[in-house]
Amino acid sequence: MTPRQPIRTQRCGREEARSRLRDARAHLQVAERATPTSPPEEIKAAISSAVLAGIAAADAACCQALGERARGQDHLEAASLVEQVAPEGPTAAKAFERLLSLKDEAQYGFTDLGGQRLLASLRQARALTAFAESVLER
């Protein structure tokens, strides 16, 4: 997961962490409106919201624990930052990578993603939001 080049980051702190955690919760709430029986385009929109929830949660945890968040286009850089958050960073980073693997298909793809992927994305987004909450509660 270690990126080949230095990670582009932006400084941030507790206040920004709280703001991004609110974003994560709001995106997750939107994502949770869809179910596996929802129309395919709604499932894709919900997965896209789940991905946004995960990105916001990752930002929140990194701002709080590391004082910076990833700002590059490569979201795997963000995962490598999440991995450095103690104590649950490595587990959260894996969930983040799985979630990010759905991003392009959900946001730009031509094919439907299906209910199982929706459920997986919701599970990962919830785990990342809970991770960010635990980091901010420390």
Partner 1 sequence: MHVARPYTAVSPGLEGDVLVALSRTTRPLTGRRVAELVTHGSPDGIRKALDRLVDQGIVRRDPAGRALMHTLNREHLAAPAVEALATIRSDLLGRLRATLSAWSPPAVHASLFGSAARGDGDADSDIDIFLVRPSPTDEADARWHEQRERLAADVRTWTGNHAAVVESSEQQLSEMARSNAPILAALRRDGIALGGTPLELLSGVQQ
Contact residues toward partner 1 (CB under 8 A) are 11, 13-14, 18, 22, 29, 64-67, 84-87, 89, 134-138
For 111, list phi and psi in degrees, rounded to 5: -100, 155
Q: How far apart are CA 124 and CA 78, in angstroms?
A: 15
Residue 1 Cβ, how far from partner 1 at the closest point, in Å?
13
Q: Identify which of residues 11 and 41 has a Cβ nearer to partner 1 in the complex.
A: 11
Q: Identify which of residues 88 and 105 has a Cβ nearer to partner 1 in the complex.
A: 88
Neighbouring-strand partners of residue 9: 70
Q: Identify which of residues 87 and 110 has a Cβ nearer to partner 1 in the complex.
A: 87
CA angle 73, 81, 14 (to 5 degrees): 100
Q: How far apart are CA 25 and CA 4, in angstroms?
A: 32
Residue 25 Cβ, how far from partner 1 at the closest point, in Å?
8
Residue 2 Cβ, how far from partner 1 at the closest point, in Å?
12
Q: Identify which of residues 65 and 70 has a Cβ nearer to partner 1 in the complex.
A: 65
Q: How far apart are CA 6 and CA 9, in angstroms?
A: 9
